[in-house]
Amino acid sequence: MGAGAHLGPALGIPGLRAVADVAFLPASSVGLGPRLTQALQLTGGVVFAPSNGALQLHVAYRFERYDIAADDRTGERYEQFTGIYVGAGLRLGREPGAGSR
């Protein structure tokens, strides 16, 4: 179990919006691996999705941190990962709140 939040405000250009996501997992597990005491993921970037098309383009920066509990062989450790996320996708179906014209 964990908690997350998402923000996606428009940036004043049609189809362009900012994105910010936060996810916090106070406890996680990995099969046949060490116990994770907490995990945190932060993402910030932009999405371009013109209203007259199905294509979406994403560019974001992501930060992840994993706190790993000590076990019989190793001590407690912390691992961090960062990187640029670039993606493309297709929107299927109607936009929420879109009416017929």
Which residue in the block uniquely carries the two structure tokens 């005491």? 37
Which residue in the block uniquely carries the two structure tokens 């990187």? 83
**Predicted pLDDT of residue 101:** 42
pLDDT in tens, 50-98: 888 889 999 999 999 988 888 777 888 889 999 999 999 998 876 555 5
Average pLDDT, the chain: 86
Residues in CB range of 93: below 8 A, 6 or more apart? none
pTM: 0.72
Closest CA to 40 of 79, 84, 8: 79
